[in-house]
Homo-oligomer: A and B are copies of this chain.
Amino acid sequence: MHFELQAECPHTGARAGLIHTAHGVIETPVFMPVGTQATVKGVTQRDLAGELDAKIILANTYHLFLRPGHELIRELGGLHKFMSWPRAILTDSGGFQVFSLSDLRKVTDQGVLFRSHLDGDAHLFTPESTVDVQLALGSDIIMPLDECIAYPASREAAYQAMRRTVNWAHAAYGHYRRRVEESASQPALFPIVQGSMFADLRRACAAELTDLDAPGYAVGGLSVGEPRSLSLEMTEVTLGILPRDRPRYVMGVGMPEELPEYVARGVDMMDCVLPSRNARNGYLFTSSGRVVIKQARYRDDVAPIDPNCQCYTCRTYSRAYLRHLYQAGEILFATLATLHNLNYYLDIMRQIRQAIELGTFPAYLDGIRNRAAVE
């Protein structure tokens, strides 16, 4: 994997680039749809590549480790082949899911012991084992085990988790370097910056991780309940330390109007379950605000979700029909709504990238801010 910086905004931190992987070239800034269990819920791989033209998706190590199991996926030729997705895949380390889904977890310096949310079986994730799991999956970009703590956290707790994250990153990197030579896949490993909402801890963590000379870096531990301004502030603080010539990935953000804010701070990659999860719950993003499809006002509304949208759903179906599908609990609703919301996010990223290339990103950002202020 290598990162090619193509254009930088002279007035903000925004950049446009290309990430070259064994499974295609990714235009950045990029939003990665979340395919938790080796599927972006309700969307065929054909539509993911065709209608949406997603260049990279995210899959969850924790879920795939538990079911169907990484060894099975390795036997079947890796995750790309297993899920028939020829383009790039990033996998997280599973750490976030351990902290959010499983109970009876116990964190030690060695790793994290947890019980499966599926059957209660006990498992241990270590910095080394999660690298092995991701090598078995054959992802293009892999993440080391980190300790993601809740918000708010005491400075002491944040410090301990940051230190453990740095130590685990070094352990993961050492193991990765030994294992990757004999591995069929040659993924890039992106260390994760932690430090809760303490700027000095974030800076210290970022500085220590740059010693690894990794091909890219991630910012974790955001979107855990803190005010949005704080997420942006921590991103800015962290990115000031990270090397300019490597892609920067902020994990688990954000709302549509936040995407250009992250880009303005130098972020190249983002992912979030919001567009797909909100879609299934009937919350649809549009260029003129949110459409809550169950509302009675859409009962006889023949307009598409968003008249400015060119997605399959908006080209084909009315709000009235979509409301009917939602009210009737029809599966097709999830598919059509997810296609729309993901297209909305990917379109924003395409607009952002174009604005950076054309040198009009500051004006684009102002437009988004003004619209958000009015709404």
Contacts and interface: CB of A to CB of B under 8 A. Distances in A.
Interface residues of A, number: 39
Interface of A: 37-39, 41-46, 63, 67-68, 72, 75-77, 82-84, 299-300, 302, 312, 316-318, 320-321, 323-325, 327-328, 330-332, 334-336
A294 to B, nearest CB: 13
Contacts of A327: 67-68
Nearest to A327: B67
A83 B328 CA distance: 14
Contacts of A41: 330-332
Given A84-B321, A300-B72, A316 B67 contact: no
A72 B312 CA distance: 24
Contacts of A63: 328
Contacts of A324: 37-38, 67-68, 82
Contact of A312 (B44, B318, B323): B44
A359 to B, nearest CB: 38
B76 A318 contact: yes
B37 A316 contact: no
Contacts of A37: 324-325, 328, 330
B67 A321 contact: no
B332 A72 contact: no
A62 to B, nearest CB: 13
A72 B72 CA distance: 50
